[in-house]
Homo-oligomer: A and B are copies of this chain.
């Protein structure tokens, strides 16, 4: 048996040569220790999973051993998704749906469909890092558009960028923005879709959090406005449970065969068992009530975090109450470095969050004085405790230059 050191190494593909876990990712691994109160990851609450419904569904489905076999995409599940999409204002057909392993795979497959190696992609200056992981493998030219913590993507900025570039697509989170927690208005959505049409630039709409909104009348998904220019990605991870690893793409029907080939090359297909189990859960009709329950529970956690922030954070910290999704975005004075703050938070207070620069699409400076807090995963008691600890640390941090004022 020869071992690694006997040889000089062979060459990896160019896209892999620079791949490396960042210092931040290493720190977040440290933050996953059980003694840490973590507001870092976008995890749903495990205590809200419909475990009984899942247990019954899986028992039913295992009555037929074909549930454990390779199998074609589940038509009953596609029909359920067609119905479900009406709740996001979207009319679609089963023929436009591709079943996938969660929203992340949707991003990876659509990037393969649309993006050339070295091609252009347009995204917000603050955006989901998992999307950036996907496109980094294509070593793309990233076109960044401004985004506002209060109102989301700057549509005028998009117009200005599209006038001078021709990206393969625009990546957008129209509802439950990650990390900002904002939803676009109907007006912003109309303008965005009009720009997509005018410049023939498709939009990849990541709606992983789209069903978790706290308004009474949510704005429909972008896909409701245009079935040709918008590729939609949905997921059961936040409305049922992540371990089902099942989501869907809605695409123009003529691209579905191409996407099926790309999907097949990626992993043959989404597990029959997961597909059949979700279809069986949806057959029971519990999903609308379950989503309503989740929205109430997550809204209560959001409200508890906002209240704790108001009580414990220094006046210099700013935020907006999110109208959807799982996150609150905090802006601190310019001179605070949230990466250094995280190191202290973990070691001194056993609390974790994600520093803002992790979301910066240029890997750069933007967001270094910001942090993203997740409110869906911890209980209300943990939220109150964790925000109190973080507030204490922040006030210490702010004292050296100015007296922190209690809000």
**Chain A residues packing against B (C-beta within 8 Å):** 1-4, 6-16, 19-21, 32, 41, 43-44, 46-47, 49, 51, 54-55, 58-59, 62, 65-72, 91, 101-102, 104-105, 108, 112-117, 119, 130, 133-134, 136-137, 168, 197, 200-202, 224-229, 237, 241-245, 252-255, 257-258, 260-262, 264-268, 270-274
Contact = CB atoms under 8 A, between A and B. Distances in A.
Contacts of A252: 4
A20 B254 CA distance: 11
A38 to B, nearest CB: 12
Nearest to A58: B58
Given A133-B264, A133-B265, A273-B243, A114 B13 contact: yes
Given A114-B12, A242-B70, A133 B4 contact: no
B264 A244 contact: no
A267 B102 contact: yes
Count of identical protomers in the assembly: 2
Contacts of A4: 227-228, 252-254
A115 B260 CA distance: 22
Contacts of A46: 65-66, 68-69
A20 B262 CA distance: 10
B265 A228 contact: no
10 contacts: A7-B197, A7-B229, A13-B119, A20-B261, A21-B257, A49-B69, A69-B243, A102-B268, A104-B264, A242-B268
B2 A226 contact: yes
Contacts of A47: 65
Contact of A112 (B15, B119, B243, B262): B15
Contacts of A2: 197, 225-229
Contacts of A273: 243-244
Nearest to A107: B265
Contacts of A271: 101, 243-245, 271, 274
B72 A32 contact: yes
A243 B258 CA distance: 23
A268 B51 contact: no
Contacts of A14: 116
B242 A69 contact: yes
Contacts of A71: 243
A70 B200 CA distance: 37
A21 B257 CA distance: 7
Nearest to A6: B228
Contacts of A55: 59, 62
Nearest to A260: B21
A134 B265 contact: yes
A70 B13 contact: no
Contact of A105 (B104, B243, B266, B272): B266
Given A101-B101, A117-B117, A130-B264, 19 more contacts: A1-B224, A2-B227, A10-B201, A12-B258, A13-B115, A13-B116, A13-B119, A16-B112, A19-B261, A46-B68, A47-B65, A51-B65, A54-B62, A68-B244, A102-B268, A104-B265, A105-B267, A130-B268, A133-B265
Contacts of A10: 200-202, 229
Contacts of A116: 13-15
A230 to B, nearest CB: 10
B266 A108 contact: yes
A168 B68 contact: no
Contacts of A254: 4
Nearest to A135: B265
Contacts of A91: 1
A70 B43 contact: yes
